[in-house]
Structure 1
Amino acid sequence: MIRRIASLCLALAVAALIATPALAKEKIKIVYVEWACATASANVMKAVIEENLGLDVELTPVSAPAMYAALAAGDQDALTTSWLPVTHGDMIKRYKGKIEDLGPNFEGAKIGLIVPTYVTIDTIAEMNAHAKEFDGEIIGIDPGAGVMIKAEDAIDHYNLSDIELVSSSGAGMTASLANRYRQKKWIAVTGWVPHWKFAKFDLKFLKDPDKVFGESETINTFVRNGLKADHPKVYHVLDTFSWTAAEIGEVMAMNTVDGSDVYDNAKKWTAEHPDRVKSWLP
């Protein structure tokens, strides 16, 4: 009798084990726009969390408006590249109270219109008189990005009636810049710092005396409401994360090498900077 009961218990236990699927490892979801700075910071955070907290991190590239919408809806946990107060200011106002600002992870950021240093004008207002040299265009990035909205405002504000803003992508913009730079042709692009292109090309911002593009900005980390309660250690890492222009520049430069993997680069960088990573950990 005892043997039959034991056999029955074992059978029930095995059946329960087969019927109950293994719990999936919970993922932390980070959303980002495929800009050089955002790609660098998102992958470094993925490396730090996976290597030190034992959680999987899923990165999702989207447009800037979709990034904030997903975070506010709770579909994503964090983003590491919110440009404030100007570039993404309108989007932050739209989702006020629905997302949490953890403050700057980078200071001294800037957006504007960028040209090679061999271009002989210095201000945005001068562009219209040289529309032919610029092929009548400013090469931009993805539609809806904050720098694109401000570029449209600059075209209106400075009466650049002969200049058109052309949508592209971060990669498309830098490819166009590289192509014309090699030929010493004039080109204007939407741009920002930090960005690796300043290390590769001799560039300058066109002066914006009326500050349509704003002044110095910060890059902030935002998280969904409730992340602190759900994942306090992840929240701590994201909250303490900050770095310098030299540090983000190292990662962005690594990512420009043909054939390199951005996540492998992030893991390599974190392995080479253990003290910096330790300063972000709980």
Structure 2
Amino acid sequence: MRGASSWRLPATSSLPTPVSSRLTLASWGWAIRRPPPMSGPTMRDRPRGRVRRWSAAWVVLALVLGGCAPPEDEAITIGVLPWAEVRATAELWAFLLQAEGFEAELRQIDTTSPGGIVRTGEVTVVAGLYAQLADGEIDLWTGAWLPQTHAPQLVEHGRDVEVLGTWYEGARLTWAVPASSDLTSIADLAGRGEELGGEIVGVEPGSGHVRISRDEVLPAYGLEDEYTLSTGSTGAMLAALDRAVALDRPLVVTLWEPHPAYGRYDLRNLEDPLGALGEEERIEVVVRDGFVADHPEIATWLAAFELEEAELASLQVALEDAAPGEERGAVADWVAEHRGLVDGWLGR
């Protein structure tokens, strides 16, 4: 099971000085972290920056000790951001939890909540989500990109969140263009700013992709004076991409894999010879502190959750094709077609 590995972040006081401004976990090494003893310091007494990853064995132990019945009148709140893989898996788990007799709800993150505003005045959806997760306002979310993209948020809120396991491997950040473009590498963008309107079309301000594209990619290729990284929303980025493809116009967008746009359009990822976008990542399930103790059975299911590329793509397509208000039916059909896979998560 991919969710069975264990790791932790070091305390912030002992973090090594990074070679570049990108904060990564890969250079910090891996270590087994066992659940805290019944006595001694609480998690709030421990240094910031420590993230707990529960192994399957410890989740099962919590299940045995804690029982299986859900707390009465307590809904499981799943955080949602406007990203295809997050929406798809949030809808999936809301359906499964309700089907298993739990009350579950989706919550679109309010980016103006405490922690959602950065000093520049930009709204950052990722900071807002992790702040609400750490405060217990939401119970879980399925979109943590590690070891790079969401490392800063896990360092900040590490004592108040728990990483249950990996559900997707091989995710990566990309810059993409319509396949009709003659651009093949990020390095090719130098001197082409006028043709491209001096713009790289980004997504939500404060997202990990925007941070890495702005702070790592543009400087690495010497493009910061020629291009502006625009920010807005994933929907606006996809609308711009749709227009560019339809009109056969040049455009560079910040994208990522997995994403259904690769099935909808003929796209090319720009090569990144300097590795500024980083290596492949994992997408993880993260829960609030105390969730495993409160809901050990659900934690066991989430720790076993995993999808391959084709399985995720079919779920995303099913939701995209569903009429407004028909998402639950689309998920139900997908679950029926993948019953064996789902039963494996639920231990059947």
TM-score scaled by length of structure 1:
0.87
Contact 1:83 1:219 in 2 (8 A): yes
What's 1:157 paired with? Answer: 220
- 1:262 is aligned to 327
Q: Contact 1:228–1:235 (CA<8 Å) still a contact in 2?
A: yes
Aligned to 2:164: 102
1:117 aligns with 2:179: yes
Q: CA contact under 8 A between 1:112 and 1:151: conserved in structure 2?
A: no
State the match for 1:67 in structure 2: 129
* Counterpart residue identity of residue 206, structure 2: G
Out of 194, 201, 205, the position equivalent to 1:132 is: 194
- Tell me, yes or no, if structure 1 residue 143 matches structure 2 residue 211: no
Distance 2:257 2:296 in 1: 31
Match of 1:219 in 2: 283
Q: Read off the aligned partner of 1:224 and give its amino acid letter.
A: R
Counterparts of 2:159 and 2:272, CA distance in 1: 33
Pick from 91, 96, 101: which aligns with 1:43? 91
Which structure has more helix as a fraction of its residues?
1
Superposition deviation, residue 259 in structure 1? 2.7
What code does the residue aligned with 1:187 have?
L
Q: Distance in 1 between matches of 2:167 and 2:218?
A: 31
Give the corresponding residue for 1:166: 230
Aligned to 2:336: 271
For the 8 Å contact 2:165–2:302, the answer to whether it is kept is no
2:22 is matched with none
- Answering whether residue 246 of structure 2 is matched by residue 182 of structure 1, we say yes
> Which residue in 2 is equivalent to 1:26?
74
Structure 1 Cα separation of the partners of residues 340 and 185 of structure 2: 42
Amino acid at match of 2:148: V
1:262 is displaced (CA, Å) by 3.2
Paired residue type of 2:79: V
* Cα separation, 1, equivalents of 2:152 and 2:300: 27
Question: By how many angstroms is 1:234 displaced?
Answer: 1.3
Cα distance change, pair 273–258 in 1 and its aligned pair in 2 (3 A): closer
1:220-261 residue CA offsets vs partner (Å, 9 max, x unmatched):
011111111111111112111111110110111122226344
* Alignment of 1:58 onto 2:122: no
Task: Please provide the CA RMSD for this pair.
Answer: 1.6
Q: Deviations over 1:81-126 (max 9, x none)?
A: 1011111111111122221111210001010211112211221122
Please, what TM-score do these two structures have when normalized by structure 2?
0.71
> Among residues 142, 149, 153, which one is paired with 1:80 in the alignment?
142
* Larger-Rg structure: 1
CA distance in 2, matches of 1:24, 1:47: 19
Aligned partners of 2:140 and 2:288 also within 8 Å: yes
Aligned-partner SS, 1:215: coil
Range that drifts further, 197-206 or 258-267: 258-267
Q: Report what 2:27 is aligned to.
A: none
AA of the residue aligned to 1:270? V
**Distance in structure 2 (CA, Å) of the matches to 1:213 and 1:26:** 40
Q: Which amino acid aligns with 1:256?
A: E
Q: Secondary structure at the match of 2:197?
A: coil
Equivalents in 2 of 1:25, 1:274: separation in Å?
Answer: 28
Mapped partners of 1:146, 1:264: distance in 2: 32
Q: Deviations over 1:5-30 (max 9, x none)?
A: xxxxxxxxxxxxxxxxxx97320011
Any gaps of 5 or more consecutive residues in structure 1? 1-22
Name the aligned partner's letter for residue 335 of structure 2. Answer: T
List runs of 5+ in structure 2 lacking aligned partners: 1-70, 110-124
Partner of 2:63: none
